């Protein structure tokens, strides 16, 4: 049983778990025992992989196990480069031949065994996977807050140059080992078929306790010609916005209005207004397409905290041309989509990375059959604006009185910043050592503001989450290492005003 702290116990209370009924469990046990002893009942056994096992194993054996035929050779309508989706690798530049590890390399040090399982080299980067096994307990990172090795591995080439890792990830294997992958965004030049992989320390282990400066000599060879590569189209949003001619070569045949917003069936549209969601990429798999939509995330950098211009309390939804809502992917597929999105993100231009990732990019599986095209994706968001960034109002209050009270102390101070009106209803102490300011923004449709004590430096602050059912009652909190008391002044500024409900919509259909 996990040791849970008092706050976790409170969370557990919110689930209001009932008492388990022993009779039910006894009945089920008897049923299962009867089932075990009934051979007829087990004739349905089929070869069945454990899902988690498939995933973790997949990350390790992606080269060895990829024996699928090459997807249909297809000249893609590319705008920048030619991309392909390689399962378990991701979206890669296919403009030059792929290479892979000539043979796995293994070594054991300080009781830890590292197996360099695979490497995948393309024109736009290198991905190396390895397993880490037999980790002694003392170097496993088990306690939150314990110093952890966070130095990624790097590659050195025969000419002495060094390629730094751009990212890494790890996961558990069924046998208790760890499956890891490292991504290098700089390619290994084609004239080098050898490199040394260097681990300054083992990422994720306790800092200073595991092997250090561990080196592995790697040799590369051409990847097999029958490697599965699914056609992928990457569509930089810049091209879609600035160059309408280029936009016409998208695989997406998007019916558009004059404003570029796809015409959606009327029953789908529910926002106050519609804006366009663009298609960033399409992968064609044997039975489906993976279509990634995005709309630009926007924020106002002039706002002290949380200057985002969209509130997103809803999930994206997908409809076909008949207005039928398509089901969400299962968990297994969702994990694959996230992996894919990570690789897609790495291929986006820096501008698009800033614009979309991670909150406004959605990859959706579109079946090739049984769906009426075009399909429509919709993401509803609330717009926010900051009409008064400079104005502020100071409100005095008795901090000692607030700290001494178990209830919020009523203030009921009307506030007007420019044309924006709202009210500071009350102030209460919070457990972290500070003050929470309770606002009613109903009059001016205010959903957030900045509130801080004049003359004191806060060490932490925050605000209540957006509640679509009651958006105009919100809290702002400020915490202090030394709680100020006595007569205090709170400065209220930068109100966020709730605007329209915007439906970001996009449509797509397969290339004719």
Partner 1 sequence: MNETKALKKESLALMMNEAEGTHQTITADFTELYRRNATNVFYYLYSRVRNVADAEDLTSLTFVTALENLSGLRDPRKFTPWIFTIARNKAFDFFRKSQRHPTVDFDEYLDQAKAVGGELSQTDQDRLRDLDRLITRLSPFDQEYLRLRIVADLSFAEIASILSEPETRIKKKYYRLLERLQAQVEK
Interface positions with partner 1 (CB under 8 A)? 1-4, 7-8, 10-18, 20-21, 24-25, 28-29, 31-33, 35-36, 41-42, 44-53, 55-56, 141, 144, 148, 169-172, 174-176, 204, 313, 327, 330-331, 335, 406, 430-432, 436, 460, 462-465, 467, 475-477
If the CB atoms of residues 45 and 512 are measured against partner 1, the closer one turns out to be 45
Q: How far apart are CB 10 and partner 1 at their closest, in Å?
A: 6
CB 252 within 8 A of CB 279: yes
Q: How far apart are CB 460 and partner 1 at their closest, in Å?
A: 7
Q: How far apart are CB 174 and partner 1 at their closest, in Å?
A: 4
d(CA 440, CA 223): 63
If the CB atoms of residues 35 and 68 are measured against partner 1, the closer one turns out to be 35
- Enclosing H/E stretch for 426: strand 420-430
If the CB atoms of residues 53 and 68 are measured against partner 1, the closer one turns out to be 53
Q: What is the dihedral of CA 69, 70, 72, 74, to 10 degrees?
A: 180
If the CB atoms of residues 15 and 159 are measured against partner 1, the closer one turns out to be 15
If the CB atoms of residues 248 and 325 are measured against partner 1, the closer one turns out to be 325
If the CB atoms of residues 7 and 159 are measured against partner 1, the closer one turns out to be 7
If the CB atoms of residues 47 and 75 are measured against partner 1, the closer one turns out to be 47
Counting every residue written for the chain, the total comes to: 512
DSSP string, 77-125: --SS--EEEETTTEEEE-SS--EEESS-EEEEETTEEEEEEEEEEETTE
The count of C-alpha atoms lying within 13 angstroms of the C-alpha of 37, restricted to the half-sphere facing its C-beta, is 5
- Pair of tokens at residue 358: 């991670």
Longest dimension (CA), the chain: 80
Q: Which residues contact 366 (CB under 8 A, 6 or more apart)?
A: 288, 289, 290, 291, 318, 326, 375, 508
Q: How far apart are CB 36 and partner 1 at their closest, in Å?
A: 6
The 3-class secondary structure across 200-222, one letter per residue, is CCCCCEECCCCCCCEEEEEEEEE
d(CA 132, CA 143): 19
If the CB atoms of residues 187 and 462 are measured against partner 1, the closer one turns out to be 462
d(CA 308, CA 304): 11
If the CB atoms of residues 2 and 191 are measured against partner 1, the closer one turns out to be 2
If the CB atoms of residues 5 and 73 are measured against partner 1, the closer one turns out to be 5
Q: How far apart are CB 227 and partner 1 at their closest, in Å?
A: 23
Quick one: which of 238, 243, 272, 274 has its CA closest to 256? 274
Q: How far apart are CB 412 and partner 1 at their closest, in Å?
A: 19
What distances in angstroms separate CA 76 from CA 181, 288, 362, 363, 511, one per listed residue?
29, 17, 22, 20, 10
Q: Give residue 229's Cα distance to chain centre.
A: 25
If the CB atoms of residues 99 and 475 are measured against partner 1, the closer one turns out to be 475
CB 320 within 8 A of CB 375: yes
Q: Which residues contact 381 (CB under 8 A, 6 or more apart)?
A: 310, 311, 312, 314, 501, 502, 504
Q: How far apart are CB 104 and partner 1 at their closest, in Å?
A: 21
Count of beta carbons in the 10 Å neighbourhood of residue 202: 27
If the CB atoms of residues 218 and 451 are measured against partner 1, the closer one turns out to be 451
Percentages helix, strand, coil for the chain (3-state, rounded to 5) are 15, 40, 45
CB 295 within 8 A of CB 379: yes
Q: How far apart are CB 168 and partner 1 at their closest, in Å?
A: 9
If the CB atoms of residues 31 and 401 are measured against partner 1, the closer one turns out to be 31
d(CA 364, CA 378): 11
Q: How far apart are CB 255 and partner 1 at their closest, in Å?
A: 30
Buried residues in 333-354 as b, exposed as e (16+ CB within 10 A): eeebbebbbbbbbbbbeeebee
- Pair of tokens at residue 389: 């960034």
Q: How far apart are CB 309 and partner 1 at their closest, in Å?
A: 20
Q: How far apart are CB 61 and partner 1 at their closest, in Å?
A: 14
Taking only Cα atoms into account, the Rg of the chain, rounded to an integer number of angstroms, comes to 28
């Amino acid at each position: 049983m996990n040791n849970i702290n008092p706050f976790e116990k409170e969370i557990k209370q919110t689930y209001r778990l009932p008492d388990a009924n022993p009779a039910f469990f006894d009945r089920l046990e008897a049923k299962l025992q009867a089932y075990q002893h009934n051979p007829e009942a087990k004739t349905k056994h089929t070869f069945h992989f454990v899902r988690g096992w498939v995933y973790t194993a997949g990350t390790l054996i992606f080269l060895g196990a990829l024996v699928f035929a090459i997807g249909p050779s297809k000249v893609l309508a590319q705008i920048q480069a030619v991309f392909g989706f390689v399962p378990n690798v991701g979206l890669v530049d296919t403009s030059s031949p792929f290479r892979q590890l000539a043979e796995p390399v293994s070594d054991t040090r300080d009781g830890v065994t590292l197996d360099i399982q695979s490497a995948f080299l393309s024109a736009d980067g290198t991905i190396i996977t390895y397993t880490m096994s037999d980790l002694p307990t003392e170097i496993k990172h088990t306690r939150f807050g314990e110093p952890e090795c966070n130095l990624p591995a790097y590659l050195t080439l025969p000419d002495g140059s060094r390629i730094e890792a751009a990212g890494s990830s790890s996961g558990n294997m069924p046998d208790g080992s760890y499956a890891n992958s490292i991504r290098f965004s700089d390619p290994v030049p084609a004239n080098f078929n050898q490199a040394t992989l260097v681990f300054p320390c083992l990422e994720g282990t306790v800092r200073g306790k595991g092997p250090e400066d561990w080196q592995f000599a790697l040799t590369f060879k051409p990847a097999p010609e029958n490697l599965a590569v699914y056609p992928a189209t990457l569509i930089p949003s810049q091209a879609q916005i600035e160059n309408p001619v280029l936009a016409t070569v998208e695989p997406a045949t998007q019916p558009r209005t004059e404003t570029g917003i796809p015409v959606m069936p009327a029953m789908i549209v529910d926002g106050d207004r519609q804006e366009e969601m663009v298609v960033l990429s399409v992968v064609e798999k044997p039975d489906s397409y993976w279509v990634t939509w995005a709309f630009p995330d926007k924020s106002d950098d002039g706002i002290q905290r949380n200057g985002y211009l969209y509130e997103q309390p809803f999930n994206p939804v997908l409809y076909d041309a008949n207005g039928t809502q398509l089901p969400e992917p299962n968990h297994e597929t969702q994990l694959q989509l996230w992996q894919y999105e990570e690789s897609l993100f790495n291929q986006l231009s820096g501008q698009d990375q800033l614009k979309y990732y991670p909150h406004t990019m959605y990859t959706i599986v579109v079946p090739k059959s049984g769906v009426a095209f075009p399909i429509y994706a919709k993401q509803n968001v609330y717009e926010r604006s900051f009409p008064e960034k400079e104005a502020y109002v100071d409100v005095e209050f008795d901090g000692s009185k607030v700290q001494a009270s178990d209830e919020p102390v009523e203030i009921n101070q009307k506030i007007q910043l420019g044309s924006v009106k709202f009210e500071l209803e009350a102030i209460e102490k919070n457990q972290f050592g500070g003050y929470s300011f309770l606002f009613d923004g109903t009059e001016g449709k205010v959903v957030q503001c900045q509130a801080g004590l004049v003359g004191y430096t806060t060490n932490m602050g925050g605000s209540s989450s957006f509640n679509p059912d009651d958006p105009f009652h919100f809290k702002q909190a400020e915490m202090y290492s030394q709680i100020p008391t006595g007569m205090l002044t709170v400065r209220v500024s930068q109100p966020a005003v709730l605007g329209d409900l915007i439906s970001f919509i996009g449509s797509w259909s397969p290339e004719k």
